[in-house]
Amino acid sequence: MGHVIQLEPPRAKAPPLGFTRVEMGRILDLYSRRVMAGAWRDYAIDRQAGLATFSIFRHAAAGPLFTVAKRRVEDATEYSVFEGPAMLARGPDLDETLAALAARPFLVRS
């Protein structure tokens, strides 16, 4: 089975965090290019108190290849990109954080 990424949501009760329309557009732009290339096939979105994730799968039955996470950290927003359990990038800007994911080589199988 795949790896599970454990990010601690804030302890205080906060409303569920989600991706904005603009953020989803940027994530889905990258996702759709990789789907067209045959590298990715499925995704899942999860919302929790202080944490939102967009997980990318090669096969729906397997664990996520990559996960884009958005967290509330005090009064700021932080984005992270994971490959399995390994963090590839983290920062306050979604585009800069997604650049680490866009730069990853990928294998396309026919």
Output the six-digit token pair for 30. Answer: 């990258």
Domain boundaries, the chain: 21-102
Q: Look over the chain and give the mean of its residue pLDDT values, rounded to a whole number.
A: 86
Rounded (5°) CA angle 37-92-79? 50
**Residue 104 vs residues 44, 82, 107: alpha-carbon distances, Å:** 20, 11, 10
Query: Cα-Cα-Cα-Cα dihedral of 92, 94, 100, 101, to 10°?
Result: 140
The residue to which tokens 């569920």 are assigned: 16
The residue to which tokens 């790896």 are assigned: 3
pTM (predicted TM-score): 0.81
Show the DSSP H helices in 1-110 as ranges: 21-36, 94-102
Report pLDDT digits (tens) over 16-54. Answer: 799 999 999 999 999 999 999 888 999 999 998 889 999
SS3 state of residue 91:
strand
More confident residue, 109 or 103: 103
